[in-house]
Structure formats: C-alpha cells, structure tokens
Chains A and B, each alone.
Chain A
C-alpha cells in the first residue's frame, strides 16, 4: 500500500522558526469551515488543548525553565499523513485512503464509525464527532492536507499563511533533502533527528527541532516499521490457515469417527428419546 512515486507531496516543519502566532490554526479553521468548541483557561496557552473534530491543527505551547528563565517552544500538530498509514489499513470499509499525491483522505459515506482508526493511529490524530446523533451521522475528522486545495494546484492553507516560513512544502524527496541540508549546514542548531523520516515507516510531514522531541511531547516510541505490516503479517496467512484447518479437521474427524454410522446427536434429543 505504500506509495512513493515522486508525485507524493510532503512538508518539513522547522520548529525553530515558529513564533506561535497561530495563523495556521485560523487559516485551517477558515478553509475547512470548522466551528469551535468552548474551552476554558487552564494555565497553558495551548488552545484548544488537544485536537478535536473541529480543530485539525493547533499550536502547542511547550514551556520549561532554563537558567535565564522560562522558555517556550511552539509545536504545530496535525495529521502526519504516513506513507503507509495505520488508519487506512485498520479501516474495514476503506473510508480512509492514502492518495498518490500524499494526503490521507476520508470518505464519510463509507465510514461505519467503529473508531478502529483512532485506536490504530500512533500519533493520536483521528477525532470523532461525538456530539452528532443519527441524522447526520458522526464522522471521523482529521487534517486533510488540504487535498482539495492541492488538487487545484494550491498550497495547503496553514502553509500559505505562515508568516515565518516554518513549513517547507514540496515533493517528498525534496522535503527529505531539505531537512538533511538544514541539519548539515547548521551544526549544533538542531537535534540530530528528522522526526517522521522513519517513524511508522515514514510520514509525509517531518519535523526538525532544536529541542529533543520527547521533551516536546512527541511520541518517541513509535517503531520504524510501517504499521500495517504488523497486522498484515497475521492477515496474509489466513488462506493457508483456513486450508490447513479444513484439511486437518476433516482428517481427524474421519479418523476419530471411523466405523460410526450416526454422525449426529439429533436422534438422542427430545421426543425421540426413549426413557
């Protein structure tokens, strides 16, 4: 299912450039016609505190103490658009699809709402419209990588509005090269890791940062293996298991029941039973 044909687009997020203006958050909401969910002040500037069905991207305000006082690092989060997405392989109805152009897109009319995509995603991205009832039915919601804008040759909304050029948008290979170039040309500036280059088999969105990713709340235990492989290694064996079991059980049944003429218990049941 992995798609890597040069056409696929990706994004490099250079966290050192982000000033936390949240223009991307507003542009995303505007383009995708998302409403708001009420939030309350809770001692942190991240608002809303987590992604939800009305919020596909947010800026997290990660704060910690240094010798010179408290500092902030701003972290944009959104769907990573994996090369081989766990959510798409988990979906029983093909409602989530990895497109050759890069975005992982959602077909609401196919979705039955089992929420296995939410369980499967290692980045905690798909969100559910819990408040919806039956007409309309709830959808799974997440960043679309502005697949509609990209189809028109436009840049995704969040990248278009960013005033400090945090995001580098282009073909996946260019994005990787750009990330490696920045790490190489600025020794000591970044931690030596491109988050998303290998995580979960590689993602279309990648991050470079001056602060260790674990400290910024990134999931750092995600294996490099494409996640669909974990379940496919079991599922692909099913035809052989079925064939083996059918043959094996038939042979055992034939051997164990040899010479018996009455295979069923029916005659010993109910009214036919003589007391």
Chain B
C-alpha cells in the first residue's frame, strides 16, 4: 500500500472525519480571530487578559504532555524496562502536544510575528521569556526524540545513527527543560502576591506545578493508552504497565498532597479555606475530587485490577490538574469584577487544537512504528 492510499484509508472512519471537521472549524475560527481582532472574536477584556486559551491550550496542555519526560526518565534514566513499550507513544503525545501549544500561543498573542524576538534578545528577568524559550527548545528536542520512528519508516540510516548517538543528551535535555518550564508555568504567578488568592499563591507554587504535572502526565499516558488500545483494536495486554503508571501517579499525588498541606500550614493560609468564598469551594473540589479521591481509588485493589477503574481514576486526576490550572489562572484575575465566559470562537479554536492533537496522534500510530508491533496500517 502506498502512503497516499494509506492516508486515504485513515480518513475513512467517522471519528477521523469528525476530527478533521473540528480542526477545520478551528482553523476557520483562528482566521476569524486575526481578521476581526482579539476584542471582537474573544471575550477577553482588560480585566481578564488571560482566558480559555491560556488556561487550556497552554497551562493545561503543557501539564498533560508531561508524560513525555516522565516516561523517558523512567525508561532511560532509571532503566525501568517495563515501560519501554510506551516511551514512544508518550514522546509522540508530548511532541504533538507541544507543537500544538506553540500554535495556540501564536493564536493567543497579539503580535505573533514578533515571537522570534525573545529568542534573540534575552530578558532573563522574565518568566515568560524562560517559558517561551524552554517550550520552543523542548519541542525541538521532542522532534529529535521522535524522529527515529519516522526515520525507521523511511529507512534513512545515517541520521538514525546520529540521533542514536545523541540519545542520552536528548533525554536529559528533555527532562531538564521540562522541569524548568513545568515549574515556571506556576512561576508566572509568583509576581502576583496581591492578586492571586493565597489558597494557591505560595513561593512554592512552581514546585507544586511540577508535581501535579507529573501526576497529570502519567494519568494522561494511562488514559491515552487505554483509549487508543480500544479504539485501534490493538491486541495487547497493557495491564501491568497501566498498574505501574497508576502506582506512579498515586505516589506523586501523595507527595503533592503532603506538600500542599505542609505549605498551607507553613504559610498559615488555612483560614482562607474556611472563609466560604468561591475560591475555597473551587479549592476543595480540586483537592478532594482531583487528588484525595484518586489516591483512595488507586489504593483499592478492585480499581487497580480493572481497566475501567484505572481509566476513571486517571480521568479524575486529569480533571483535578486542569481545574487547578483554571483556578490559578482565573483567581489571579478575580480581584477585578470581571465576568468571563469564553466566546464561541475561543471554544472552536480550543476544540480544533485538541482535535488536531488526536488526529496527528492517530495518523502517526497508523503509519509510523510508534507501538511495538509497528505501524498499525501496515
């Protein structure tokens, strides 16, 4: 089968056509956004300069793509051979995810054609500079980490050998860059001590962001593993791996919970929780549904041994981390009397970006050796 025929075949399913439609709508909405400006196409205002796109496409998207560095660290640094089979899918998710984060950023910022400037003119006092720089380089690193899948497919031996030699430097660079920018996404908000509610504000926010990103990354790899195995009808038993991921997520969540409680105590912020504000409600939902319940569920044998149990529990972890990023972003802007609900264009762009990630993932696993058994479309 030629590649063209293979691609045609890929789009025969209804799911793929729906994804294609959503990507198309997203592109149309992005064109509209540049045509009429941010003011007319979004519900962003001077009181709410960071909306849905920052909360989902950047803050949540980067956290959910953390599986890429977490799994490569486990496999290549800690030599946990068991997870080797999911290293490439995790790298693929991260690569596609980060590439789409960059696209999302280009749509969100007011003047994307100036985006090259921070790469040339350094401003090391800015967290935004650091994050932008890290995300750009890490996307490149991920491209190199994923390149072998493509090079094997086209049987291009020389670059394959070069990347092979660079393997460990790339893995280590990926882990270091991830630590820096995952934590710095929390670091964004360090400069807002009088704006962000102190239920979230703490000098340790970067480390909390890093921990929750690891939990989110592991949960995301689990969810995506379960769903893709079912959707693509792969005949593999991934339960041992999924249980291992669940264990990893559980340990990370416990460390996160202990760190969060210790930090709240040390900063003396518990009275804020009992103030009965909207912030304390969201904080409670985030911690109970997104952290404590998953820890309990992961600890139950019946959940650990059921694929659906792991799917639901991982889903709760994702919910908790995404809610956390929403809370931090929006409660940092809640001091004003702004009411914000995203416009239909904002939703269309975000749905389009998410669909693009799934679409690219699916095309890649169909045509490239991502899974152990090779390209699924072969």
**B114, A93: Cβ atoms under 8 Å?**
yes
User: 1/0 per residue B149-165: CB within 8 Å of A?
Assistant: 10011000000100010
User: 1/0 per residue A120-143: CB within 8 Å of B?
Assistant: 101010011111111001100000
**A256, B153: Cβ atoms under 8 Å?**
no
CB-contact partner of A118 in B40, B46, B114, B375, under 8 A? B46
CB-contact partner of B110 in A52, A92, A137, under 8 A? A137
**B125, A256: Cβ atoms under 8 Å?**
no
**B49, A273: Cβ atoms under 8 Å?**
no
**B76, A263: Cβ atoms under 8 Å?**
yes
* Residues A59-75 near B (CB distance < 8 A): none
**A231, B34: Cβ atoms under 8 Å?**
no
State A118–B117 Cα separation when bound (angstroms): 19
* Residues B17-66 near A (CB distance < 8 A): 34-40, 44-47, 49-50
**A256, B193: Cβ atoms under 8 Å?**
no
User: 1/0 per residue B312-345: CB within 8 Å of A?
Assistant: 0000000000000000000011011000000000
**B374, A269: Cβ atoms under 8 Å?**
yes
**Given A112-B114, A130-B38: A231 and B191 interface contact (C-beta under 8 Å):** yes
State A128–B114 Cα separation when bound (angstroms): 16
**A128, B180: Cβ atoms under 8 Å?**
no
Which of chain B's residues have a CB closer than 8 A to the CB of A252? 77-78
| A34 CB → nearest B CB, Å | 15
**B168, A93: Cβ atoms under 8 Å?**
no
| A110 CB → nearest B CB, Å | 6
Most B-side CB within 10 Å, residue of A93, A221, A246: A93
Which of chain A's residues have a CB closer than 8 A to the CB of B88? 265, 269
User: 1/0 per residue B113-137: CB within 8 Å of A?
Assistant: 1110110010111111110100000
**B121, A93: Cβ atoms under 8 Å?**
yes
| B357 CB → nearest A CB, Å | 22
**A266, B109: Cβ atoms under 8 Å?**
no
* Residues A91-128 near B (CB distance < 8 A): 91-94, 109-116, 118-120, 122, 124, 127-128
Verify if B234 is at the interface (C-beta below 8 Å from A). Answer: no
Verify if A157 is at the interface (C-beta below 8 Å from B). Answer: no
**Given A90-B126, A253-B76: A127 and B111 interface contact (C-beta under 8 Å):** no
State A109–B111 Cα separation when bound (angstroms): 10
| B137 CB → nearest A CB, Å | 12
| Interface residue range, chain B | 35 or more
CB-contact partner of A94 in B37, B123, B130, B160, under 8 A? B123
Which of chain A's residues have a CB closer than 8 A to the CB of B129? 92-93
Verify if A188 is at the interface (C-beta below 8 Å from B). Answer: no
Which of chain B's residues have a CB closer than 8 A to the CB of A90? 126-128, 191
Verify if B167 is at the interface (C-beta below 8 Å from A). Answer: yes
Verify if B358 is at the interface (C-beta below 8 Å from A). Answer: no
Verify if A164 is at the interface (C-beta below 8 Å from B). Answer: no
Which of chain B's residues have a CB closer than 8 A to the CB of A131? 37, 39-40
| A68 CB → nearest B CB, Å | 30
Verify if B190 is at the interface (C-beta below 8 Å from A). Answer: yes
**Given A222-B194, A242-B176, A253-B168: A269 and B44 interface contact (C-beta under 8 Å):** no
> A8-16, A169-177, A233-241: which one contacts chain B?
A233-241
State A134–B333 Cα separation when bound (angstroms): 26
Which of chain A's residues have a CB closer than 8 A to the CB of B335? 124, 219
B176 nearest in chain A by CB position: A245
Verify if A260 is at the interface (C-beta below 8 Å from B). Answer: yes
**A268, B79: Cβ atoms under 8 Å?**
no
B79 nearest in chain A by CB position: A256
User: 1/0 per residue A37-51: CB within 8 Å of B?
Assistant: 000000000000011
Most B-side CB within 10 Å, residue of A129, A138, A263, A269: A269
Verify if B175 is at the interface (C-beta below 8 Å from A). Answer: yes
**A273, B127: Cβ atoms under 8 Å?**
no
**A116, B369: Cβ atoms under 8 Å?**
no
**Given A93-B118, A112-B115, A265-B84: A234 and B206 interface contact (C-beta under 8 Å):** yes
**A52, B191: Cβ atoms under 8 Å?**
no
Which of chain B's residues have a CB closer than 8 A to the CB of A120? 191-192
**A271, B125: Cβ atoms under 8 Å?**
no
A260 nearest in chain B by CB position: B79
**B46, A127: Cβ atoms under 8 Å?**
yes
Verify if B256 is at the interface (C-beta below 8 Å from A). Answer: no
Verify if B172 is at the interface (C-beta below 8 Å from A). Answer: yes
B190 nearest in chain A by CB position: A230
State A120–B336 Cα separation when bound (angstroms): 14
**A93, B374: Cβ atoms under 8 Å?**
no
CB-contact partner of A114 in B128, B176, B180, B373, under 8 A? B128
State A91–B123 Cα separation when bound (angstroms): 8
**B46, A111: Cβ atoms under 8 Å?**
no
**Given A265-B75, A270-B153: A231 and B127 interface contact (C-beta under 8 Å):** yes
Which of chain B's residues have a CB closer than 8 A to the CB of A250? 168, 172
State A268–B84 Cα separation when bound (angstroms): 9
State A110–B128 Cα separation when bound (angstroms): 14
8 A-B contacts (beta carbon < 8 Å): A112-B114, A116-B188, A128-B49, A133-B36, A227-B191, A233-B203, A241-B180, A269-B148
Residues on B lying within 8 angstroms of A by beta carbon are 34-40, 44-47, 49-50, 73, 75-79, 84, 87-88, 108-115, 117-118, 121, 123-130, 132, 148-149, 152-153, 160, 164, 167-168, 171-172, 175-176, 179-180, 183-184, 187-188, 190-195, 203, 206, 332-333, 335-336, 369, 372-375
**Beyond A130-B37, A235-B125, 11 additional pairs, beta carbon < 8 A:** A93-B118, A119-B332, A124-B47, A230-B191, A234-B206, A235-B187, A241-B180, A253-B77, A265-B84, A269-B152, A271-B369
